[in-house]
Amino acid sequence: MRLNRFLAAAGVGSRRHCDELIAAGRVTMNGKVCINFSAQPGPDDHVKVDGKLVHVAPAFTIMLHKPAGFVSTRKDPHARDTVFDLLPQKFSRLFNIGRLDAQTGGLLLLTNDGELAQRLTHPRYKIEKEYEVTLDRSWDPALAPRLLRGIFLDGQRAQITQLRPVTRTKLRVVLRQGINRQVRRMFEGVGYRIKHLVRVRIGHLRLGDLPRGHWRALTKRELDSLRPNQYLEIPRLRSE
Ligand code: URA
């Protein structure tokens, strides 16, 4: 990992800010000023900024089954419960990858890995997110083409990528976009109110049977599945 990435991963600041620190001679490696932008500090190197040792915490990512009624932010101006109230204090420096609105439950990822967060939320990668939707009344399948074709939200075409009825009032839908409250607003757009909304999958990662309010660390296999080339092959909606 190049020096600016190393410093950014250690929480010193953005890569650009770290470049400025390197150029200004404020960064030392093993006691010597390092202005070599290609330097790649290893685990045994001592890197300091303004004389203070910096180190990169090992990347750590968890999945949480967020219950409805909790906000995904660290602090809520309306003093509602936050997802951090469900986690041990030692996770207070993790941040969530994307959000679920307060009334939506399900799979939420939290990490200290800024690059992973960027990759999973960047529109370029079009990561699939699957939701279980419970409607206020029976679904009219004739409306599906409107949601698949897309409707305009916030000046852009919001589309549902896949839609599969499970019961008369329950559907599974897949999105590849991340517009604010997209599922709720799209169903409102065709005259429905969503009673329950649960995210059950992000990319290849499934919520599975993780109980509501519980968390677990991702396995190595799951972390590997989040690498960019894994998105070339996307699972289809699964019949439960
Ligand atoms: N769509 C919504 O309406 N809410 C969410 O939290 C996520 C997607």
Ligand 1 pocket test: which of 71, 83, 104 has the largest number of ligand atoms within 8 Å of its C-beta?
104
Q: Which burial class, exposed, middle or buried, applies to 193 when counting CB atoms under 10 A from its CB (0-12, 13-18, 19+)?
A: exposed
CATH number, domain with residue 19 = 3.10.290.10
Query: According to the model, what pLDDT value does residue 123 have?
Result: 85
Q: Do 16 and 97 reside in the same domain of the chain?
A: no
DSSP class of residue 163? E
Report the predicted TM-score, pTM, of the whole model to 2 decimal places: 0.81
Domain containing residue 48 = 3-54
Residue 114, pLDDT score:
81
Note the pLDDT of residue 161.
Answer: 97
The finding on whether 181 has its CB within 6 A of some atom of ligand 1 is yes
Sites in the chain below the pLDDT cut of 50: 232-235, 239-240
pLDDT of residue 230: 55
Residues 81 and 14 in one domain: no
Q: How confident is the model at residue 146, as a pLDDT?
A: 97
Question: Is 175 in the same domain as 226?
Answer: yes
- Mutational pocket test of ligand 1: of 128, 131, 186, the residue with most ligand atoms within 8 Å of the beta carbon: 131
Active site residue 101: yes
pLDDT digits (tens, 9 = 90+) for 138-152: 999 999 999 999 999
Query: What total of structural domains would you count in the chain?
Result: 2
Q: Of 161, 83, 150, 94, which is closest to residue 128 (Cα–Cα)?
A: 161
Domain assignment present for residue 238? The answer is no
CATH number for the domain spanning 181: value is 3.30.2350.10
